[in-house]
Structure 1
Amino acid sequence: MGILGKIFTWWDGATIGTLLWSSRNGEHVGTDAQGNKYYRSKSDKITTTEGYERRWVIYAGNNDASNVPGEWHGWLHHSYDGVPESHLPPPRIWEVDYTPNATGTNGAYLPQGALDRGGKRARATGDYEAWSPDA
């Protein structure tokens, strides 16, 4: 994406205005495994309506909230004050790496009978009886 794309688009990373505002008014706090960068306001004057310091994320790639790991989500929403690295338990053996949300893409899950898979579904087995208002 060229310079014009960075000026006018918001769906594929931050615009130039957001990057400039973040570098001027924000303090870089950390970066997650996907490359998303997290900031908090440098000034006490920049707060939310509830009076908390403003915290935000600059996505690496598409602006998709499902790209934010749970520990950073908690930090963004003021569940705790310290950066997530100080609150993380050791990784469990059953934890898997992040996979992006595939809804609306060719990789999306399509169950049997979905119209995009041809709309064929298994025939009823006779264990279902339709409701009737007269019964």
Structure 2
Amino acid sequence: MLKSIFTWWNGATLGALFTLWRRAVFVGQDDLGNKYYQAKDDSDSYDKGRKRRWVIYQGYAEASKVPPDWHGWLHHTFEEPPTREPLKRQVWEKDHQPNLTGTVNAWRPKGSISRGGERQKATGDYEAWRPE
């Protein structure tokens, strides 16, 4: 309970949830569990004629967790949400993945400190620079 009052990085605060309850309608949810809302009117909008749009993250608040189709809807690139008009995917497109930097699932190359710090010895094709 206290976490939802004071922290915004682990989901919506009580104030945000109250505002959404009063002023917004639920639009949809993505595959990661993020929920999307749109204001009922443009009375609190930054641009008149445009309704505000929100995302409530599932878990830790990280913008890279928003898939491209929902990102376009949030930023008014697409008028219709992906629940009504899905974004056409090209055959060469890969599935969306959030940025894993700083998490336990981040990529760690051989020789990195977080992977033990052991790396291969330099081969004969490398010559260290020496000042003259």
- Per the TM superposition, whether the score is higher than 0.5 is yes
Runs of 4+ more than 3 Å apart: 49-52, 90-96, 98-102, 129-134
Aligned position for 2:45: 47
Distance across 2 between alignment mates of 1:66 and 1:106: 16
Structure 1, unpaired ranges of 5+? none
Please state if 1:83 is matched with 2:68: no
State the distance in 2 between where 1:63 and 1:83 align. Answer: 21
Per-residue CA deviation, residues 27-47 of structure 1 (Å, 9 max, x unaligned), is 221111222111122222222
Deviates further, 87-96 or 45-54: 87-96
Residue among 72, 79, 82 paired with 2:70: 72
- 1: CA distance, partners of 2:19 / 2:59: 19
Choose which of 54, 60, 68 in structure 2 pairs with 1:62.
60
Unaligned ranges ≥5, structure 2? none
**Partner residue of 1:122?**
120
Identity %: 49
Contact (CA 8 Å) 2:42, 2:49: kept in 1 or not? no
Query: For residues 47 and 58 of structure 2, what CA distance do their matches in structure 1 show?
Result: 27
Q: Distance in 2 between matches of 1:113 and 1:50?
A: 54
Query: What count of residue pairs does the alignment treat as equivalent?
Result: 131
Corresponding residue for residue 27 of structure 2: 29
Give the deviation of 1:50 after TM superposition: 8.6
Structure 1 vs Structure 2 CA RMSD: 2.7
Change over 3 Å in CA distance of 1:16–1:87 after alignment to 2? same
Instruction: Supply the distance in 1 between the matched residues of 2:104 and 2:56 (Cα, whole angstroms).
Output: 26
